[in-house]
Amino acid sequence: MKKMIRYLRSMQFGMLLLALVMACSFAGSMIVQQREPMEYVTRYGETWAQVILFLGLDDVFSAPFFLLLMAGLCLNLTLCSLVRLPKTIRAGKALLQRAENAQDVQPLDEGQREKLIGYFRARRYRCTERNGKNVYVKNLAGFYGSFLTHLSFLLILAVGAAAVLTAEVTDRAVMPGETVTLEDGVRVTVEAFQIVDETGRLDYASRLCAETEDGTKRARKEIRVNEPLGFEGYKIYQQTYGTAGSVRIDNLANGASEVMLLTESCFLTLDGRNGMFFQALYPGYVTAEDGSVTLITSTSGAYDDPVYDVLSVADGTMTPVLAFPDETLTIGDVSFTLLEPVSYPGLRIKHMNAAVLGALYAVFALLVAALYLCFFMTPVAVCVNENGYAVISPKTQTGLMIELEALLGEENA
């Protein structure tokens, strides 16, 4: 049991877990997440798509193996912190004891001793008298650097998990040119959206503009998978996409005209009896040698050859029609002109709890402070007595020794 606990708190186990977490995070950054299986086949080929789906790499950060790794890392950091704390508390006392018992001392005369004491006072060394010897100490807080670093990583994981669990998540489908107003008045506008780039490569990107209710703050960014827009406590992600049909409805009797976007089945009518029933929009079709047409029902890219599946309803008679963009159906005094489909993004909008977000910033500040203690606050104790002085520290104090020798050398000169 002791061997198991020793391994669970060991640096080797911690580094192994950290490497695996980093590898999973890298995979989650490189592989698009939470998409339809067909998209993975299109992007990576059938073989790699099967591997990705089998290993759960299409949703890495919610996969059981990733959560297990994070739990193991938390356990490792917790055990490290608990074990280090008693040693850290004893380390300061041990340093003072070593300084008091130091035998290898540098000789001093009275003038040098006074100059040395003045040097320590000017640099705010704390003086402790131990058995008639003056021990000047500084940076004892440096002993806590390693402990606080481990604790900071643990708190980052814990508070980060709390931030994810308490975040308010909203999924919205937003048409290009449309603006979404959030609860606190922040407005998010989708200025443009594309499925493929100029070279024809799949590139799901939305150009967003976000601004506060009073318009004093504004941010604009083109977001992609794993490249969100951060604004006023919100994270706005490119989550998914869709393609809507588009139809222009012209009233031939009065000249009125309106363009509608079609995302689900609906009956477009003015009198409740006659009109066009929109059933589905297909991304393309395949024509067989005998002239028959087979509709393509799924794609991960743009709709290259869109086909509208509609019903023409006139005087109680329904006529199935497969129509293409720019075709017009005239039913009574109304004409329905089918237009090019419109692709639109599905945005995932996350709003972080302000208190949790503040705690996360505080933990990162603690980590910075801990690293500062580790690298820039090396504990040091200098024992000064009638025989001379001795410098004791966990690390070699070459710089301090040179400075003290130069200071005391001035006295001799």
Q: Which of 300, 303, 355, 296 is nearest to 325 (CA)?
A: 303
- Does the pLDDT at position 29 exceed 80? no
Mean pLDDT of 163-181: 89
pLDDT at 129: 86
Tell me what percent of the residues of the chain surpass a pLDDT of 70: 99
377 has pLDDT over 60: yes
The 8-class DSSP code of residue 169 comes to E
User: What is the pLDDT confidence band of residue 413, given thresholds at 50, 70 and 90?
Assistant: very low
Q: Three-state DSSP class for 57? A: helix
Q: What is the mean pLDDT of residues 102-109?
A: 82
> Which tokens in the block code for residue 204?
């799901």
Domain boundaries defined on the chain = 162-242+347-364, 243-341
* Cα atoms in the Cβ-side hemisphere of radius 13 Å centred on 174: 28
- Tokens standing for residue 177: 């040119």
Element (H, E) at 299: none
Is pLDDT at 411 greater than 60 in this prediction? Answer: no
- The half-sphere exposure of 411 on its side-chain side, counting CA atoms within 13 A, is 13
The C-alpha angle with vertex 205 and arms to 286 and 171, in degrees rounded to 5, equals 95
DSSP 199: T
CB atoms near residue 123 (< 10 Å): 9
Which pair of tokens denotes residue 359? 């705690």
- Phi, psi (5° rounding) for residue 17? -60, -40
CB within 8 Å of 139: residues ≥ 6 apart: 377, 378, 379, 380
Taking only the tens place, the pLDDT of each residue in 78-94 is 887 777 788 888 888 89
Report the percent of the chain where pLDDT is more than 90. 39
Cβ neighbourhood burial of 223 (10 Å; 0-12, 13-18, 19+):
buried
User: pLDDT tens, 308-341?
Assistant: 999 999 988 999 999 999 999 999 899 999 999 9
